[in-house]
Amino acid sequence: MMEKDADKMVVKPSPFSRGRRRNRQEREQGASNITAKREQSRPEQMYSMEAVVERENMRRAYAQVMSNGGAAGIDGMSVSELADYLRAHWTRLKAELLEGRYQPQAVRQVEIPKADGKGKRQLGIPTVVDRLLQQALHQVLSARFDPYFSESSYGFRSGRNAHQAVQQARAYVASGKRWVVDLDLEKFFDRVNHDILMSRVARRVKDKRVLRLIRRYLQAGIMSDGVVSPRTEGTPQGGPLSPLLSNILLDELDKELERRGHAFCRYADDCNIYVQSKAAGERVMKSITEFLSKRLRLRVNASKSAVARPWTRKFLGYSMTYHRAPRLKVAEASVKRLKEKLRVKFREGRGRNLKQFINEELNPLLRGWISYFRLAEVKGLFEELDGWLRRKLRCLLWRHWKRAYTRVKALMKRGFDQARAWKSTTNGRGPWWNAGASHMNEAFPKSYFESLGLVSLLNQLHRFQFTS
């Protein structure tokens, strides 16, 4: 079904594309005229509702929404249906936007497990039309706000990523700032004060239609079990606009830290400040907690925040060693989360063809994980994980065989004589013990799993570091 939808998305042209009768020269001339008018206009007009609904901006927003895909909102409309809907209704939508009458629909509430496995995170899924309009707003507002954001802000910004934040954090520790103020904002996305946020947006955006639409998105209700609940605070995660709004609000924190001369890295609501002593860290923790509470009405989660050594904390999934020139490593919590995900995969993979299971279920997850943690310099962990994976696969095989006779037959097929096969099978131990025992290691060595295509995390890490 998804493949069919994807085919439709590729074939179906954007409703914002110009007609075939317009030749290429006319299109280029039109684009240059738009650019010239923008350059001649005042900055406020470049960030107005007219700029939001402009054809080229909407075309880019449409392409991004189609590329992202995603689930339907409360109206049930899928991304594959968006083009036809816009052809029929865009004139009306555009008029409502320009006249300041457009009303967003409520978002659909979904819950996903938190990364630490404790509790659930609430997401709000907007309708496809609202995702399109939020993306169009995001593109215009990003051009207005991003140039003024701090160099120490790395989250949800073009040309910036988590890897850069992690590398900068290591550089601060290497420079002698060997204490970290690790701030955790309590339920940040649920607690954002709308009035404070809108006052920060209004500093650079003067078009009241744009401001009104942003506030309406903030206040759009949440539908759960068919009931819509109003929202008076928070920016629901799930829409294209939420990450930018969080950066606009937390830019005030960035500017305060810069004013005080602190070395810090912030990625969304995850902020680490690096200092030279524990006493300095405790002073910073106290003063910044007060600043966030009084100026932005945000609370620091005391149970998850700390003044500590960087190698005892994690930042964006990484930690580091205690050496003078610290080396990056994968945080223990990140390894634990990977194993939990893999255990779910292994439970689901019981009874399946092993090669198919490896290539369709395990390898995509492993490749994505190692791609993110390719900066790690402590490599022993990857070798341990490779061994753990092979043992889990041997355990899968042992469970799959079930009966003693089947296990004997399988071991004999791998070159064991009958006596040893029977002795190995009837040892009275469980699947996990047998998966680590000599008979299973000998029958199914590393080369066997390599022949099935199993990704080696250690080899992938070497490959990344060799090509970088």
HSE toward the beta carbon, residue 124, CA cutoff 13 A: 29
* 3-state SS class at 228: strand
Asked if 57 and 47 touch (Cβ cutoff 8 Å), the reply is no
> Is 60 exceeded by the pLDDT of residue 244?
yes
d(CA 438, CA 429) in angstroms, rounded, equals 13
**Tell me, what's the pLDDT at 117?**
59
Q: What integer best gives the mean pLDDT of the chain? A: 89
Q: Which amino acid is at 124?
A: G
The pLDDT tens digits of the residues spanning 335-365 come to 999 999 999 999 998 888 999 999 999 999 9
> Is 90 exceeded by the pLDDT of residue 261?
yes
The pLDDT tens digits of the residues spanning 108-159 come to 888 777 666 566 677 888 999 999 999 999 999 999 999 999 999 999 999 9
> Cα angle at 378 between 377 and 383, to 5 degrees?
120
For the CA atoms of 230, 234, 235, 237, the dihedral, rounded to the nearest 10 degrees, stands at: -90
Q: What is the pTM of this model?
A: 0.84
* 3-state SS class at 75: coil
Mean pLDDT of 62-83: 92
The pLDDT tens digits of the residues spanning 202-237 come to 999 999 999 999 999 999 878 877 777 777 788 878
**Tell me, what's the pLDDT at 190?**
84
d(CA 232, CA 249) in angstroms, rounded, equals 16
